[in-house]
Amino acid sequence: MRPVRDPRFVDAILDWKPTWFIARLLLVGGYLLGGIVKLTDWSAAVAEQAHFGMSPPALWATLTIALELIGPLLILSGRLVWLGAGMLGVFTLLAAFTANAFWTMPMGQDRFMATNAFFEHLGLIGGFILAALVAEQAQRRA
């Protein structure tokens, strides 16, 4: 049986050099923006950490900003992608358990939304793993 080939336009998109960067930017853009917003509104960043019960909130705000800026920059630079992906993956997992503990909520709209957000976070973690795998494969081929 012959393997099914991708349509030519799909191959063209996947072979286009900027696709790899754009894909990584889409994956980390929310984190990068979040870090910049928190950096420019320190009091809101600290208040967010306090809202989630993180103590001391200023320390956690500092760590969050650092992770949300350094992780994406590593991934976007193409250097130490595994480290940036690992940082953001662990951060995202901890955030999912902290901010979206749907199992502690009564049935209703809030639980529904937290459940969706929790599993979306797991999907992002899968994206970070895939980014690290692709970067590693490209490095091995080089």
pLDDT, residue 104, reads 94
pLDDT of residue 3: 78
pLDDT of residue 74: 98
Dihedral angle sign, alpha carbons of residues 50, 65, 24, 140: negative
Q: How many alpha carbons lie under 13 Å from residue 48 in its C-beta half-sphere? A: 19
Q: Contact 133/36 with Cβ under 8 angstroms?
A: no
Closest CA to 23 of 92, 69, 90, 85: 85
| Structure token digits, residue 90 | 């662990």
Cut 0.85: pTM above it: yes
Residues 36-94 have pLDDT tens digits of: 999 999 999 999 999 999 999 999 999 999 999 999 999 999 999 999 999 999 999 99
With residue 106 as reference, give the H or E element that holds it: none
The pLDDT tens digits of the residues spanning 102-127 come to: 999 999 999 999 999 999 999 999 99
Contact 36, 13 (CB under 8 A): no
Which residues are CB-contacts of 46 (< 8 A; sequence separation ≥ 6)?
57, 58, 61
